[in-house]
Every structure is written in C-alpha cells, then in structure tokens.
Chains A and B, each alone.
Chain A
Amino acid sequence: MPSVQPVITVRDIVSRFGTQVVHDGVSFDVFPGEVFGIVGGSGSGKSVLLKTMLGLLRPTAGSVEIEGREITRMDERELRQVKHRYGVTFQHGALFTSLTVAENVTLPVAEAMELDEDSLARLVELRLRMVGLPLDAAAKYPAQLSGGMIKRVAVARAMSLDPALLFLDEPTAGLDPIAATAFDDLVLYLRKTLHLTVVMVTHDLDTLSRTCDRVAVLVDRRAIVDTLEGVVASDHPWVRQYFHGARGRHVTAKQEDERGA
C-alpha cells in the first residue's frame, strides 16, 4: 500500500520519564482501512504510546501525524479538531456511570453542536443499531449492562462523531469467548462498511489473528512492525515466547494450517 497516504504516521518517538526510557525510536505507519494491532509486555509502554498518538501526552522527541497533521506540537484548539476525527474506547469502557446509555452516546454530539432533541434521539437509535445493541438499552444505566454491552456502548460513543479512526484499548479483555468473537466481528463489520481505520492495543491473540492486518510489537523500547505472519516468524526471543508460548501456540498453528491449505 505504499502509494496510499498513511492515516497515522509515528516517527522516532522517544518517551522518557525521569531516567526511565519507555520508547527509544518507535516508528510506524497506519494506512486507511486497516486494523492495526499493538502488542507488548506489561510495562512496554503500550498505554504511553496510545496516549501519545491521541495527543494526550507529548513525547520527549519524535512526531505523530494524524491525517497529515502533526499533533505533537499543536495548540489546544487545533488538537480539538483532530480529536473529532478519532474515537477512543478505554479498557473498562469508561462510560459515565451517572448518565444513561443514550446520554453517554449523545454526549459528544450534544457538546459539539446544536441539534434538537428529536435528532439526538434518532442518532442514539443509529449508534445502537451500528454496534448491534437492542434499542431498549438506551434508557439503562451502565451498571445495568453486561461487560460485552458496555464495550459496545463504548464503541457507540466513540463513533458518535463519525470519526475516520477508531482507537480501542484492550477491547476484548474481560469478555467471554463468544462476546469477544462477536466484538471482533463488530470491528470487522464497521471497518468494512464505514472504511474505518482501527488501531487496537490488545493481548488477545485470537482477536489479533482474526482482525489485525498488521501488528506492531513493542519490545526493547522499539517497535517491530509487520503482518502477523511476519511478526510470528521473527526470531526475537521475547516475540518468539509471546507467540509460541503455551497460549500463543494454537494461533500460530492455525496460521500454519492456513498456509498449508
């Protein structure tokens, strides 16, 4: 895809906190319409990288471009416009517990623009349909929802400004395999129908193999970026352990099956 303009360009990111260096030259591109996975061990700086890409954290050095706009040195106002171009879901959903599902989903819209109640109610319906939730969920509070539904509402809220880019932080963590698979399907469906670009941080090897086109592995303060097959074949000891350990084995086995067939 090199002829296509990347949606996100991360160049030589260095993140340092005191004497602790988290990233030392992380670079990769994310292309339109792809699902891009980020994996790494605990403490490898996945969250720091995600926050840097969102413009919530300024890197010590390096740059992040979203749709060709450099966000690491932007002022608040410009950054706010960029923020309307992406949606984010957090690991535990981060739904506002004192608001109903409908209020959660319309909050970004109601804050960003003037729309009448009727249009807002219609948009709630659209967003719930988009993420495959029953419409009677609208009046419920987050505490009344199951884990899978919370993640879906989080996606509905992230999609409420029709972003071109979706960031997902550990989207399938804590979900049962059925709900996790259904969530993977949702991500793929949204990508297919809306040509979304998705960046997800995940530890779920099944999600990784089912949804991600390319993967960045954060290891030794750098990123190894390749297709999943390429990363799996890497001879870096940590990466080998990650994908060929007891949990990773069936994923790699499945891929070898596919290649054989």
Chain B
Amino acid sequence: MDFVAEFDEAGSRLRLAGDCRMADAPALQRELKRVLTMPPSTLTVDASTAGEFAIGPIWLLREAVEALGARGTVVRFVGQRPEHFAYLDELVAHDGLGLSTHAGEPETGWLVAFGRHIAERAQAWYSALTFGGRVLSTTTTAWTSLKRLRVASVVRHVHETGVQAIPVVAVIAFLISVIAGYIGAQQLRPYGAEIYTVDLVALGVLRELGVLLTAIMVAGRTGSAYAAELGVMKLNDEVDALESMGLNPYELLVLPRVLGLVIAMPLLTVVADAMGLAGGALLTGYLLDLPWPQFVMRLDAAIADTTFWAGMVKAPIFGLLIGLTGTLRGLQVRESSRELGRLTTVAVVQSIFLVIFADALFAIFFLEIDF
C-alpha cells in the first residue's frame, strides 16, 4: 500500500497510512514542515492505518515530535506508536556525545582566515625550500656513481618526455612560425621590406618562440604527468614504502624525472627550431616568391653566432623548472583524490608561469650583456 501523509489543520490531525519507505521521506517531511510552521496546541498522530516504517522517516517523525514537545504541543498517538520509536530512544539514550551535527568548517572571522592563509603560504614556501634542498643534496651524492644516477630510468624519461613529444612539438613550432611570418610579411610589405620577414622569423623562432613553445607544450604534457604519477604513488603509500626500505624517493623518483626533462628539453628545442625555420622558409617561398638559396643567404646574414644559443641555453633551465614543479606538486598530494586533481592543475599552471617569468628575466639579462 502506498504511503500517505496528511495534515488536517482544522482537526490538528496528522494521518499516516501505508508503508513508509525511505523514498517516502520527502512526502512525510513536507507534512511535518506544515505542522511545524504553525504548531497546534494538541496534535493527534493517527497511525492506525499505517504499515511498516523504515527507520529514516521514523527518525524525522520522532525529531518533529520532539520539536513540537519543546514548543508546548501535546502529541497523542492513535493506533500504535511506530515500533521503531523504542529503538530510536535506545539509540539516543546510548550516548552522551550530543555534539554538533553540522557538517563543514565552523564559521570564522576574516582575521582567522587571513592568518590561516598566511600560515599556509609560509608552509608552502617552507616545503618548496625543503624540497629544493633535498633534490640538491641528492644530486650531489648521486653524481658519485652511475648506479645511483639511475641511467636506465633517466633514459626512459627522456624517451617518454622527449622522443614521444617530437610530433606535437614539431607541428606547433611549424604552425606558429608560419603564422608569425605571415603577419610579419603583411606589416612589412607597405615599406617594401618583406625580405626582413626572414629576419623576423629566424630571430623570433631561434631566440624565443622555439624554446618557449616547447616549454609550454612540455609543461602541459609532462608537468601534469609527473604530478599525477607521483601523486598516485603518494596516495598508494608507495613513497612511504620506498622510504621504509631505506631508499631515497628523491633519488629514485624525482632526480631521474628532472634529469630526463633537462636532457629532453634542449633536444626538443632543436627540433622546434628546425621546424620553425622550415615553416619560415616555406612561407617566404610561397608568399614572397623567395627561392630557397636566397632564404638561406638572408638567414645567414640575419642571425649572429649567438642567436641559436640565446634560445638554447634557456631550454635546460625551463626543463628544470617544469620537472621540479611537477614532482614537487606530486609529492605534496595527500589524503584525497581531489587533492590530486588540484595539485596536477597547480603543477601545470605554475610551471608555465615560471617558464614565462624566467624567459622575461633572460630577455633582460641578454639585453644587458648584449648577447
């Protein structure tokens, strides 16, 4: 029999009929709310036609009856008092732990929130410093033997983060250089200076675009992978397991990854530079009818001996930043899967930010030393 809950205001009578399962809780709750909004002086709960009650709805009924009692309403049961009431009385009597049932953090003032924020920041800086220190100390000891440098592991990471990233990096570098060259050629044409498109593409790709785009692609591809990998290992207690065996997780997990990326980044940058120049050559050949030999001659004139290296020296530094950020964030994961997602995102955003920030510093530095 379906459940019916009906509050008759005039007779101040709550009629309950049929079996009440958990799914009927909303219907019951609606009627109880009506009763509670204008509590009568006496309420008759007519359960004479009621069937079996599940424990959840009964609890809601009991709580409502208690609340009514507190407001001075006399509650009378017609038919039987639902059988679970005794059980619930027992449950409530069982403990003296009547504590707050409200979920979530207690509300706090802005000063507390501000202080907590500062403390968290300080903690984050401290942990980043500790991390950096441990990586450094591990590196200095790991150099002493090939075995401790984990060559096989490093090679695997070079393969995964470098070799496997070649197609995407090559395509991106090619396309960006075509786009930059196209815009450049259009701007230079009114001055009859289209030939300088070659300079634009060559300098742009070799000094900045090649390495920067590679770093951003690698941050998205590898920074996130590092953070997620280490984060899952952390959640699985694998990092603790390593440490319990007397092994250094920095030597086994962090160093090979960072080193792998430091090696892979310059290699990828070479690919990006080459594809960028190829894109420039294709564009100028197609748009400016510049034959291939002339492109090469113009290229030779445009770039200095140092141009290529101005881009290339940045590659390992960017690799280092991405690798350290990814592994640090991964190792900071604890407790929950949401943390893992959050820190993976942080790893990507932060490594891209750091790469661009470092690039700006490099630009100023190169300008100052006239490199």
- Which residues of A pack against B, CB within 8 Å? 84, 97-98, 100-103, 109, 112-116, 119, 121-126, 128-130, 132, 134-136, 138-139, 141-143, 160-162, 193-194
Contact = CB atoms under 8 A, between A and B. Distances in A.
Contacts of A160: 22, 56
A143 B336 contact: yes
- Chain B contact residues (Cβ within 8 angstroms of A): what range? 20 to 34
Given A123-B56, A129-B92, A141 B336 contact: yes
A194 B55 CA distance: 8
Contact of A136 (B26, B92, B99, B338): B99
B173 to A, nearest CB: 39
Contacts of B105: 139
A122 B102 contact: no
Contacts of B338: 97-98
A255 B210 CA distance: 78
Given A126-B59, A130-B91, A141-B335, A135 B101 contact: yes
B32 to A, nearest CB: 9
Given A84-B23, A112-B23, A135 B55 contact: no
A142 B338 CA distance: 12
A136 B55 contact: no
A111 B121 CA distance: 37
B192 interface: no
B21 interface: yes
Interface of B: 21-23, 25-26, 29, 33, 54-56, 59-60, 63, 87-88, 91-92, 94-95, 97-105, 334-338
The majority secondary structure among interface residues of chain A is: helix
B53 to A, nearest CB: 9
Contacts of A121: 101-103
A90 B103 CA distance: 24
A36 to B, nearest CB: 22
B101 A119 contact: no
Given A109-B56, A112-B23, A138-B101, 10 more contacts: A98-B337, A109-B25, A121-B102, A124-B103, A129-B92, A134-B95, A134-B97, A136-B97, A138-B103, A139-B104
B103 A102 contact: yes
A252 B21 CA distance: 41
A161 B23 CA distance: 8
A136 B100 CA distance: 6
A114 B26 contact: yes
A163 B242 CA distance: 43
A139 B55 CA distance: 23
Q: Which of A103, A128, A162, A194 has the most CB of B within 10 A?
A: A162
A114 B102 CA distance: 19
A162 B56 contact: yes
Nearest to B92: A129
A198 to B, nearest CB: 16
B103 A100 contact: yes
B233 to A, nearest CB: 16
Contacts of A84: 22-23
6 contacts: A103-B103, A109-B22, A125-B101, A126-B59, A143-B335, A160-B22
A122 B60 contact: yes
